Structure 1
Amino acid sequence: MIRISTIFITLCMVLVSISVGVVLYALIGLRASESAVVALAVLTVLILYNAVSVRMHGRNNAQSQIADLSQGVADLARQVSDFGRRLAAAESKIALANSGGSDRLQSGLQSALGEISELGGLVRQLAATVAAHDDLLNLPSAVSAPAVEPPPPARPSDRETLARAMSAAPAVIRATANPARIHNDAQILATIQNAIETGGVDTFLQPIVTLPQRKVRYYEAMTRLRNARGGYLAAGDFIPAAESAGLMGQLDNTVLFRCIQVLQRLHSRNKDAGLFCNVAAATLGDPATFARCLDLLEANRALAPSLILEFKHDALRRLDITERKHLAALTQLGYRFSVDHVTNLRIEPRELADRGVRFIKMPASLLLDQRQTSASDIHPADISDLLGRFGIDLIAERIENEGAVVDLLDYSIRFGQGFLFAVPRPLRQDAAEDATDKARLHANNTAGPAQAGALKPDAIKPERSPHMTGNAALARRAGGAA
């Protein structure tokens, strides 16, 4: 249907062309035929101009419509991509929730299996104890009174300690009929009690260095007990006997007191120094002993960022309800934890991080063992990054040669510890202040928790560790001599 505007424009063009022809005929005096030709030419020009202008206007409208359509398509694509991202995020959250539930279910099953295995071990231990008692009852009188030299007379306090230890630890003394073993255990228990009472608990420090710079970042406090001959008992020699006799609580209280004292002296020279202090799981399970340790740690809460409490990996996984509650109390005070004695690469970083663990120690031989790669769900080179996602630092311990350091650098491990860097060294201390510390330690074990914050820093200085030099064999011999 022809629009009215088109008819109007056509009439206007016809009128304009006729007007031009009339003007040329009347005013200029052209002939009628010439005036008609000029009018027709003017009409043709006007028609061509109108057609071109209409065509150009239609093209501009088409371009604007195409631009609008392109913009609408772009907006639609952006909205579709936004909806896609939201859908992917929702699916990931649902998958994470499902995996978290399975992880919690798996951790619960593992805890139940651990408790079942622990109950089985207790049953086996009870059966062995009953069998040992039957054997002792069936022994003849000649065997029950062996001809051995009696131990030297002990002080009244030692007699009470030995009686309490023998009654509380039948697995150590009664489970064997070897008189030499009984005599040796009795001597170890007497040494432990004497060291607790007289302050004969010495502290050795071994540095933990950064890799590859080998700068000292932390220290680990290692406990050594002095015996009557002036020698030292390593932790592996007296801890089993102390745990069986129920003396680990007193020993840990003494060690914590000593670690706080050492850390105060380290902070007098370096505020960034940290100290690892080993604590037995039995201390968490004993309410009376833990109460004294908690009072001591709460009184020195300012040292919480620098004092790392270290537990065995297996012991931390088998904590009961009371021990977990005590561990949570330490976490509320701001203390961080470390685990050692890791025997395989199957660890649960999420569970450890939830319990406040911020460091994990693994032997270098375990990380570099190719057999562990096939037996584990993750490659050892990825363990450090996996732990780092949960805020846990990996420390490679027991490093004894340079080749191990080179291999561990490929695993992105930040910290190392071992005889290659330094052997455990005793502290140099002033004799007069050492006597005062021993008296305070004795008062701490007998009268209650000591306020270590009131201690005055003395002249104790840890031996500095060599960074790049040292033969592993010489370091091992030096460590044995210390």
Structure 2
Amino acid sequence: MIRISTIFIAICMVLVAASLGFVLYSVAGISGSESAIVALTALTFLILYNAVSMRLRDRTDVGNQIADLSGGTADLARQVAEFGRRLAAVEGRVTSANSTSADRTQALAGEINELGTLVRELAASVAHHEEMLAAAPVVHAPAPPPREDLIQPSAPAPTYAAAPAYAAEPEPELAPAPVAAIPRSQSQLLGAIKSAIDENRLDIYLQPMVTLPQRKVRYYEAVTRLRDERDQVLAADDFIAVAEAGGLIGRIDHLVMVRSVQVLRRLMVRSKDVGVFCNVSAATLASPGTFIQCLDFLEANRALAPSLVLEFKQATFRHLGPVESESLAALAQRGYRFSIDHVTDLRLEPRELADRGVRFIKVPAALLLDDRQIATTDIHPSDLSDLLGRYGIDLVAERIEGERSVVDLLDYDVRLGQGFLFAPPRPLRPEGASATADTPQTKPQDLNGAGNPAPVSSPAAPRATGNAALARRAVGPN
């Protein structure tokens, strides 16, 4: 539809051309035909000028409209991208919440099933003992002593092996522990340490760290032992102080790191979900030459960083100097995690420790269960596991020696345990050694109890105490 402005412009152009022809005809004396030609020519030029100007104006309008449309499209794309990012974040939160809820539900179901198994075992044990008591004859008077010539040697009483605890995986092949070394002077001990290092008589003993209450092996701690020229064992407590005083601890730490990586590679062949704790001395962090050697080795094995945990004493973290802090930062930068042991009190700073890369804290079970710690700390020991967990630190209860301690630690929400109750430190069998060699292989029950079990009168007796304690907490007092 033609706009009114266009009709008005056309009428104006016709009037202007006609006026021009009339002026030429009346004033200039030009003939009518010539005046008409001039008027038509002027009308033609006006029409062309109007057409060109309208085309230019339309092009400008179209350009502005295209620019506006491009800006709107860009804004729409930006809004769509923002909505997509928000939707992805919401989906991630929902997925994380669902996975966390599923993990907690699965863990709770496992604990409930385990508790039910313990209650059933306890009921069977009690029923068995009641049957034995009911079947026992009543003795009214002591029988007369038998004659000497009628006494026969009695048959040996039957013995039962301790009931194996929960399965531990992976189970490395462990050799029996050698006999402890005899006492010696400091100079003799220093000479024995130098000789053992030079002749590569450094052994790695493994002690498992298990999950509670399932008692499934999750980590191993590499414990250092040295053998002298007579194959007598030097425990870590016997030679560490002397080695630090003699400047040999750096060489020992480097050898321990090498052996720990070798052990970790052997363990990861059977299971990827396993880790090794390796003890490192404060003197190694403070010695630039020794630390650079260790750092180069750890850099070469950086792929194992998630499974190799470097362990330091609590006193080391409380007296860090500039050099030690830089060394720790270099290790943390390469992805290695730290653990703290030899804890003497519960005055901890979880935020600061987490910032330094600490992911595990080992506390003796006796220290956690000591009521006197309540007065010396700002937090109750039962809340310590939750507090550390907020900063990504796992609490490990070590030196556990009794089932009663395990029951109390479960009330403190402790999820990892270590101690002679589960297994003592045992040397790793050399790679390639046969399981049927002269040295007997460690049995599964040796991985979950210290030493050989004593003879008992019933197969259910070894775990009766722990089962009864757990059953009482599950069903309540009668």
Partner of 1:208 in structure 2? 209
Residues in 1 aligned to 2:264 and 2:443: alpha-carbon distance in whole angstroms: 15
Query: What does the per-residue CA deviation read over 1:194-219, in whole Å, with 9 as the maximum and x for residues that have no partner?
Result: 11111100000000000000000000
Contact kept in structure 2, 1:226 and 1:232, CA below 8 Å: yes
Partner of 1:415 in structure 2? 416
Contact kept in structure 2, 1:207 and 1:465, CA below 8 Å: no
Contact kept in structure 1, 2:423 and 2:448, CA below 8 Å: no
Residues in 2 aligned to 1:321 and 1:343: alpha-carbon distance in whole angstroms: 24
Contact kept in structure 2, 1:214 and 1:468, CA below 8 Å: no
- CA offset at residue 464 of structure 1? 7.0
Residues in 2 aligned to 1:395 and 1:432: alpha-carbon distance in whole angstroms: 33
Contact kept in structure 2, 1:420 and 1:472, CA below 8 Å: no
Residues in 1 aligned to 2:355 and 2:443: alpha-carbon distance in whole angstroms: 35
Closer, same or farther in 2 for the Cα pair 1:350/1:426, shift >3 Å?
Answer: same
Partner of 1:341 in structure 2? 342
Closer, same or farther in 2 for the Cα pair 1:474/1:342, shift >3 Å?
Answer: farther
Q: Any residues of structure 2 matched to 1:65-144 within 5 Å, and which?
A: none
Residues in 2 aligned to 1:217 and 1:465: alpha-carbon distance in whole angstroms: 16
Contact kept in structure 2, 1:188 and 1:241, CA below 8 Å: yes
Residues in 1 aligned to 2:364 and 2:382: alpha-carbon distance in whole angstroms: 14
Residues in 1 aligned to 2:247 and 2:401: alpha-carbon distance in whole angstroms: 35
Query: What does the per-residue CA deviation read over 1:356-386, in whole Å, with 9 as the maximum and x for residues that have no partner?
Result: 0000000000000011112221111100000
Closer, same or farther in 2 for the Cα pair 1:469/1:184, shift >3 Å?
Answer: closer
- CA offset at residue 399 of structure 1? 0.2
Query: What does the per-residue CA deviation read over 1:97-151, in whole Å, with 9 as the maximum and x for residues that have no partner?
Result: xxxxxxxxxxxxxxxxxxxxxxxxxxxxxxxxxxxxxxxxxxxxxxxxxxxxxxx
Contact kept in structure 1, 2:312 and 2:338, CA below 8 Å: yes
Gaps spanning 5+ residues in structure 2: where? 1-182, 435-440, 455-478
- CA offset at residue 466 of structure 1? 3.7
Closer, same or farther in 2 for the Cα pair 1:315/1:307, shift >3 Å?
Answer: same
Q: Alignment partner of 2:312: what SS?
A: strand
Superposed CA RMSD in Å reads: 2.4
Partner of 1:226 in structure 2? 227
Partner of 1:470 in structure 2? 449
> Is 2:338 the counterpart of 1:359?
no
- CA offset at residue 351 of structure 1? 1.1
Contact kept in structure 2, 1:210 and 1:415, CA below 8 Å: yes
Query: What does the per-residue CA deviation read over 1:425-465, in whole Å, with 9 as the maximum and x for residues that have no partner?
Result: 111114899xxxxxxxxxxxxxxxxxxxxxxxxxxxx9576
> Is 2:324 the counterpart of 1:323?
yes
Contact kept in structure 2, 1:400 and 1:472, CA below 8 Å: no
Q: Percent identity?
A: 62
Partner of 2:282 in structure 1? 281
- Work out the number of aligned pairs and report it: 267
Amino acid at match of 2:274: A
Closer, same or farther in 2 for the Cα pair 1:378/1:467, shift >3 Å?
Answer: farther
Partner of 1:376 in structure 2? 377
- CA offset at residue 473 of structure 1? 9.0
Partner of 1:155 in structure 2? none
- CA offset at residue 293 of structure 1? 0.2
Contact kept in structure 2, 1:362 and 1:394, CA below 8 Å: yes
Closer, same or farther in 2 for the Cα pair 1:432/1:385, shift >3 Å?
Answer: closer
Q: Alignment partner of 1:241: what SS?
A: helix
Partner of 2:400 in structure 1? 399
Closer, same or farther in 2 for the Cα pair 1:354/1:368, shift >3 Å?
Answer: same
> Is 2:428 the counterpart of 1:427?
yes
Contact kept in structure 1, 2:446 and 2:452, CA below 8 Å: no
Partner of 1:82 in structure 2? none
Contact kept in structure 2, 1:203 and 1:223, CA below 8 Å: yes
Q: Alignment partner of 1:394: what SS?
A: strand
Contact kept in structure 2, 1:427 and 1:463, CA below 8 Å: no
Partner of 2:196 in structure 1? 195
Partner of 2:298 in structure 1? 297
Query: What does the per-residue CA deviation read over 1:259-301, in whole Å, with 9 as the maximum and x for residues that have no partner?
Result: 0111111111111110000000100000000010000000000
Q: Alignment partner of 2:219: what SS?
A: strand
Greater relative contact order (Cα < 8 A, sep 6+) = 2
Residues in 2 aligned to 1:290 and 1:398: alpha-carbon distance in whole angstroms: 30
- CA offset at residue 230 of structure 1? 1.2
Amino acid at match of 2:312: F
Gaps spanning 5+ residues in structure 1: where? 1-180, 434-461, 476-482
Q: Alignment partner of 1:309: what SS?
A: strand
Closer, same or farther in 2 for the Cα pair 1:298/1:381, shift >3 Å?
Answer: same
- CA offset at residue 474 of structure 1? 5.9
Query: What does the per-residue CA deviation read over 1:62-107, in whole Å, with 9 as the maximum and x for residues that have no partner?
Result: xxxxxxxxxxxxxxxxxxxxxxxxxxxxxxxxxxxxxxxxxxxxxx
- CA offset at residue 471 of structure 1? 6.0
Residues in 1 aligned to 2:197 and 2:318: alpha-carbon distance in whole angstroms: 29
Q: Alignment partner of 1:370: what SS?
A: coil
Contact kept in structure 1, 2:424 and 2:449, CA below 8 Å: no
Partner of 1:241 in structure 2? 242
